Structure 1
Amino acid sequence: MELLGSTRTATYARPKTSHFLPAISTMASSYRNPQQVLAMNPSANIWRTNSYYKSSSVLPLTSSTQHSNFDLVRAKTIFYPSNRTTLTTRYTPDDWYKSNHINYRESESSRKSAERLRRDTIRLMQDKEQLTRRTQENTSKNIGERLNDIVFWRSELSHEIDNMVTEIAALNEVKRRLERALAETEGPLQVAQECLYHREKRMSIDLVHDDVEKDLTKEVEVIRSCQERMRRHLERATAQLASNRGAQHELEKDLGDKVSAQRIDDKCHHLRNTSDGIGFYRGIDRIDYSVSLPDSWSKFTDDNILRSQSERAASNKLRDEIEILLSTTSNEMWNQFNSVNVAFTNRISETADTKNNLQAHLAKTLQEIFQTELLIESLKKALRDKESPLKVAQTRLEERTRRPNIELCRDNPHHRLVVEVREIEDTIQKLQERLMEAENTLQTLAKTKVTLEHDLSIKANSLFLDQEKCMSMRKTFPSLPRLVGYT
Structure 2
Amino acid sequence: MSFHLAVSLEKPVQHLALSDWQARVDRLRNVANARRADAFTMRNTSRMLRNESQIEGDWANYLSNESLSNRIAELDKWRDLIAKAFGRLELEIEALREEKKAAESELDSQIRPLSVISKVMSIRDGRVIPEITHDSPETETKNELFILENNQRLLVDLCQKAWEKLVRLEEVRFKINRELKDKQDTEDTESALLAMNRNSTNISYKPDPLRNPRECCSYEHWLEHAKNIKQLAENELAETSAIRNAMIVCRQKSRDLLEAQRARTEYTFRKRIFLTQQAKNELEWQQLKLREEIKNLTCEIQSLEDALQSKTGLLKLAETRLETRAMRCVTELCLDEPHHLLCNEVEKLREIQRCLMNKIDDAKANLNLLSDHAKKVDDDLENKKQSLQTDSEALQLHETLNEEEFAVLKDHNPCEQTDRNVELTRVVLDPRK
Which structure shows the bigger proportion of residues in helix conformation? 2
Q: Tell me the TM-score range normalised by the shorter chain.
A: 0.3 to 0.5
Higher RCO, 1 vs 2 (CA within 8 Å, ≥6 residues apart): 2
